Amino acid sequence: MATIAVLGTLDTKGAEHAYVADLIRKRGHQPLLIDTGSGEAPTVTPDITREEVAAATGVDLAGIAIRKDRGEAVTAMAGAAAVLLSKLVAEGRIQGVISLGGGGGTAIGSAAMRALPIGLPKVMVSTLAAGNVAPYVGTKDIVMFPSIVDVSGINRISRVLLARAAGAICGMAEVDVPPGDDKPLIAASMFGNTTDCVNTARETLEAAGYEVLVFHSTGMGGRIMESLIESGLISGVLDITTTEWADEFVGGILGAGPNRLDAAAKTGTPSIITPGCLDMVNFGEKATVPEKFADRTFYIHNPQVTLMRTSAAECAELGRILAEKANACTGPVTVLLPLRAISVISATGKPFHDAEADRALFEGIRQHLRSDIPLIEMDCEINDPAFAAACVKSLLGQMAG
């Protein structure tokens, strides 16, 4: 039997949370009803009161009630719920969490879930689940479950959806995760244009006794990789595909934020850095590309993805950024440059071939890289097996000390 936290604003959505709690109980598990409301009195009796939640961070519920500031209340209770749930998990008192909400409830519930470890079951039933859920999910494994109708009463639609959501969280909690071989972990970044390189490197590393986690460099993939590196779970980083910096710098849709490449630098994790796919900036459909880029070179990757070639000026700055990120590393780091192509489509004769831009990128790295950091330049394309082998050899050497 698992104990599953049922977290929510029990003043406005008490009946709905109680309904889910009852379904969990009927499934043979123990619900722990937690109130994160801050308005009227809860309509059902919680196992953990809002006052107990607020006490986790010293929230002044009485003051918030007087000010009647909903934004303040949501922010305060989100922070308090995150601290409380983290404590419950650390003490082994809960094995999963489910929450239901509209805008405010989703903000509180998802904030609490983002504070919890990856692997702990998390289900957020939300009116916002059909839109952009990235701000709510962050880098964690939160299952966003569309409520279809508002979380407002038990009706023909909500009765079915809430029952399915309760079944989902129970099923997740019931699953025994098969034991695995705890090999040292390597984090690798990949894009379609660097797949061959990463796959070749992965096979070699796995043969050497490592487990390789591959992250797609689509913004969120980079953020998640950084989060895991920062957690200390990663033994080495094979950052073949640093393309997210092109989107971050130029203004594409797949940036991973200004802290991309910082985790390995801070933790001293051995790392390999290459300028993989810095020749491209990602946009959606062609019609979504900002007008200011109208005269640039484009490649239609598919109907939903338009790639734009980075210019020589942009590449010079990207080279500087990459070098400065490497310079901040407190542990071993090696930078490798594939001089013939940094992606499949930047090779000679391909749509993004631009020798001037590539030279600017490489020169930006050379000029700004710390003199004591190894810089390996190879007369080959990034997907050449020899380049993958060089990356692996450097990383294994670093990890061997």
Q: What is the CATH number of the domain that holds 382?
A: 3.40.50.12030
Same domain for 203 and 166, yes or no, is no
103: left (phi over 0), alpha (psi -120 to 50) or beta: alpha
pLDDT at 125: 97
Distance CA 52, CA 46 (A): 11
Same domain, 238 and 124: no
pLDDT at site 182: 84
* Residues 76 and 222 placed together within one structural domain of the fold: no
Tens of pLDDT along the chain (401 residues) come to 999 999 999 999 999 999 999 999 999 999 999 999 998 999 999 999 999 999 999 998 888 888 888 889 899 999 999 999 999 999 999 999 999 999 999 999 999 999 999 999 999 999 999 888 999 999 899 999 999 999 999 999 999 999 999 999 999 999 998 887 789 999 999 999 999 999 999 999 999 999 999 999 999 999 999 999 998 999 999 999 999 999 999 999 999 999 999 999 999 999 999 999 999 999 999 999 999 999 999 999 988 999 999 999 999 999 999 999 999 999 999 999 999 999 999 999 999 999 999 999 999 999 999 999 999 999 999 999 999 999 999 999 999 97
Per the domain annotation, does 9 fall within a domain?
yes
Residues 103 and 235 in one domain: no
Asked if residue 230 and residue 149 are part of one domain, the reply reads: no
Look at residue 180 and tell me if it is in a domain.
no
Amino acid at 63: G
Tell me whether residue 290 is in a domain.
yes
In a domain, 179, yes or no: no
Residue at a domain's end among 111, 140, 174: 174
The pLDDT value given to residue 333: 98
Radius of gyration of the chain (CA): 24
Task: Please count the CA atoms within 13 angstroms of the CA of 280 that sit on its side-chain side.
Answer: 31
Count up the domains in the chain and report the number: 2
**Pair 170, 211 in one domain:** no
Q: What is the pTM of this model?
A: 0.81
Assess if residue 137 is contained within a domain: yes
Look up the domain containing 372 and give its range. 185-400
Residue 225 forms part of a structural domain = yes
Last residue of a domain, one of 109, 139, 174: 174
Domain boundary among 174, 204, 224: 174
User: Do 189 and 214 fall into the same domain?
Assistant: yes
Residues 152 and 233 in one domain: no
